[in-house]
Structure 1
Amino acid sequence: MKAMILAAGKGERMRPLTLTTPKPMLRAGGKPLIVHHLENLQRAGFRELVINHAWLGTQIEEALGDGNEFGVRITYSAEGEPLETAGGIVKALPLLTESGDDWFAVINGDIWCDFDPGNLTPPAGADALLVLTDNPEHNPQGDFSLDEQGRVVKDGAEKLTFTGISLLHRRLFDGLEAGPLKLAPILHEAIARGRVRGIHHTGQWMDIGTPDRLKELDTLLARGKA
């Protein structure tokens, strides 16, 4: 099974840091955010990775190369302009499924999490598996809930936040053509059909959406608290 790291966004909320550096290459704990993902995926047994990029993407390729340094093999999906999450996945589908496996992992390049990707197991009777976590201060209302059967539902007694880590099946994107497409509407449709399962991750997770959160993560990693 392959994994995809989403790294094509401009990171406008991170300016001025991202004016000259792609967001996933911003450093915390002495290494770029995306390297934390490479190491985590490698430890979990993933060896074949796809990274999409657009804004300053050549910097990502120059820094990571073919992935050999990190014990993985990286293939790049270059986008002339950002295609949004789903659009980027659709463009990369031939790379993600060329080995015949219809499932693949997807991780947002601008998060940090101690979740073990090795726990992503294809669920029966579903098209997606989402990793959810407790709501952070910047998203107190949450995104989704889990029912008693582990299905993701739009509303429930306890709302949780989507971490940006998922396991997806290629049929989720059947009939879609490459172009700017958001993932949220696709997931909502699948959720309405009862085709999405979830995992509640109770460990550490951060959405590195602002310079202050990047500094916070850097401090936590430097102190060994993350």
Structure 2
Amino acid sequence: MTAATTPPAGSYTRESAKCMGPYTVCTDPALYLSAVEFSDIPEMVRILNINQDVYNGSALFQYPYLESHAQDRIQTAHETVSAIGINTHWAMRTTPHGPLIGWAHLHFDHYDEKHPQPVHPATGVPLVVADIGYWLSPEHTGKGFAARVGRFLVEEIAMKDMGCDIVRAVSYVENWPSRKVAERSGMELELASKSILIPKLGAMRDICTYAVHKDPATKSIIKLDYDY
């Protein structure tokens, strides 16, 4: 679009936004991704209170997980669609519009004077960089769902649909299930260990990062500034 035809920020609609889905991740077993909705709140709250796996593996999620937490998270997802015209939060479902069984999201990196946007080392072209995250109901683990979603999110949505040059995932160093999902998504270990503050814990934890690069020439670009 030209500047004259680009909608002003905050004017995009869910009907016209990109990457809303539903996406067919696989058919055997059946797995789909579609935009999260406020109607997903009850199931989201139920799943995230089954046990503390997501709480223990995430820097952001709380336990017990309240309806207000889900409301805020989905409100943020809807506001992102309105602001940029691209959906970046999806529910995993076993039918195109069925109940939520898990979650996947993508966050574009944001830049400022202190954290300038990285550029391609050979061409100087600014790079589009994003982080992804995911969680799955303990009722559906062991089926390969998370790894399938991770690879689909990287290859089909982030790189093909959104034009990302680099896609990363962050895990606690000791969270081997999450790390294996990143590896099975086609990512390679980029940063073996870095200690950062996790505000919800009020403590430092060691994280590691995985990354996939559209162009191998950008592998020298390593992200070091993580905060929550």
- Give the TM-score normalised by the residue count of structure 1: 0.31
**Structure of higher CA gyration radius:** 2
Q: Which has the higher contact order (CA 8 A, sep 6+)?
A: 1
